[in-house]
Structure 1
């Protein structure tokens, strides 16, 4: 048991060896905030920890971190667009780059009367769908996934965050049985090729769902082809499709959408200057 914030912070930083010093400090601050509601300034002033305050087994937590287990899995949640989402090994941990996708859609989508209809394909934790639902009061949002476990997490997040997203099981690679149209189709599909595993961090490779990460090397655009075909039938001419992409296949993915008949396709770079988002439209009208 620790009696004040600074010695506890120092203990965590000193004993975590699986991450860089910068990452280790960020993890330590997250742990103190989550378990003891201690802020960064509380560490600086070495705020006392009440003897009645319940503390976790810090040694066990450090051991899990040193096995490269993500901090988000240990505390059970991750922040995305200012909202706290439950996460588990069944879903991808939300990432800051994906927040840019949400912000772009929120900026683009302005309707005066009828609700804008949005579908998030491969919703995982539901972070994209729920964030859009929370930030766009005029939107009606669906979240689709093939994983029953992911849909359970998404439903829990919707309940906790007072969201009305409709979550359903749907496989974009199977025969299209859906009827209806959307103003906006969004997806962060699997796009990492198996050959890229050697360059990935162990906390991602060992603890996040491969179903949501990887695609076969011989067909890296599998999901983008399916999404484009879905849009040809179910995206309104005035709407738009937004997808996260593998930076290695930016131009190839763009050409796929153009060959499918999309009239305007653009690639948008993320905060790191990498090709990250593709926006595609079937006409010059609308978004």
Structure 2
């Protein structure tokens, strides 16, 4: 069967579940992972042949069940790098790439030795991306999940960077073991009441520990990290958060004016309140 004919069949089985751009993206990912062919190969030869293998069928069946394609192939792309992922870590998001970009662009001297802590590292996508683009930075990454840290460690090896990983529940900390120039975090921030807005591919497969917080204590991680940063962030150091788009103003109010300055609430590419940066006085 010609690939272009098979693509029509692929689309027909998924078009009632996903939008057309997603299905097209899925097909390209499958084509590369299963057949070793790219979208460009198909453009060059519209008559490329394909054998309908058992692997194709298994992948389609999982997509019909709305399992994230990154979990199917155990791989995700983030900030130009490849990361191992499974159900123990969140699938890295484009908005988190924007956070990483903001951190990198905020470091005025890329060659200056600095220390950075990533709290709630998950797959390690933030910490590892920063390590690749800020080679003189000493990067630390913390997570409560041992399984997540195993994935993050594998990603540090995969991307050939040195990151110090810490198994720790940040909510149980009274202080950090040392001071940092930058603290960055994408902690759990989705309230239970917002589950109705979450797609099945996220709700049914991604780790709830890394996603959800109680409705009446939605900023618990931000409060804790701001408290830790109040004493352990160096003077002039920066604190970065990815945040709940509905709680931008409430999160900004956590930064006490006697300890922090230049608190900026930034929108993501979709024009949602998504990131905060603040400087330690």
**Normalized against structure 2, the TM-score is what?**
0.94
Q: For 1:124-172, what per-residue CA distance to the aligned partner results, in whole angstroms no more than 9, with x for missing partners? A: 0000000000011111101100000000000011111101011110211
Q: Counterpart in 1 of 2:33?
A: 34
Q: For 1:37-94, what per-residue CA distance to the aligned partner results, in whole angstroms no more than 9, with x for missing partners? A: 222233333253487xx95521221111111100111111110001010110000000
Aligned runs of 1:84-123 on 2, under 5 Å? 84-111=82-109, 114-123=112-121
Aligned runs of 1:1-287 on 2, under 5 Å? 2=1, 4-16=2-14, 17-44=16-43, 45-49=45-49, 55=53, 57-111=55-109, 114-258=112-256, 261-283=259-281
Partners of 1:80 and 1:220 in 2: CA distance:
27
8 Å CA contact retained: 1:9, 1:43? no
Q: What secondary structure does 2:204 align onto?
A: helix
Partners of 1:161 and 1:153 in 2: CA distance:
12
- CA drift at 1:15: 1.4
8 Å CA contact retained: 1:76, 1:88? yes
- What is the aligned length? 279
Partners of 1:163 and 1:56 in 2: CA distance:
37
Q: Which runs of 5+ in 2 are unaligned?
A: none
**Normalized against structure 1, the TM-score is what?**
0.92
Partners of 1:281 and 1:5 in 2: CA distance:
53
8 Å CA contact retained: 2:175, 2:232? no
Q: For 1:165-186, what per-residue CA distance to the aligned partner results, in whole angstroms no more than 9, with x for missing partners? A: 1111021100325321100000
8 Å CA contact retained: 2:131, 2:138? yes
8 Å CA contact retained: 1:189, 1:244? yes
Partners of 2:234 and 2:131 in 1: CA distance:
19
Q: For 1:80-117, what per-residue CA distance to the aligned partner results, in whole angstroms no more than 9, with x for missing partners? A: 00101011000000011110111111111133765110
Question: How much is the aligned-residue C-alpha RMSD, in angstroms?
Answer: 1.8
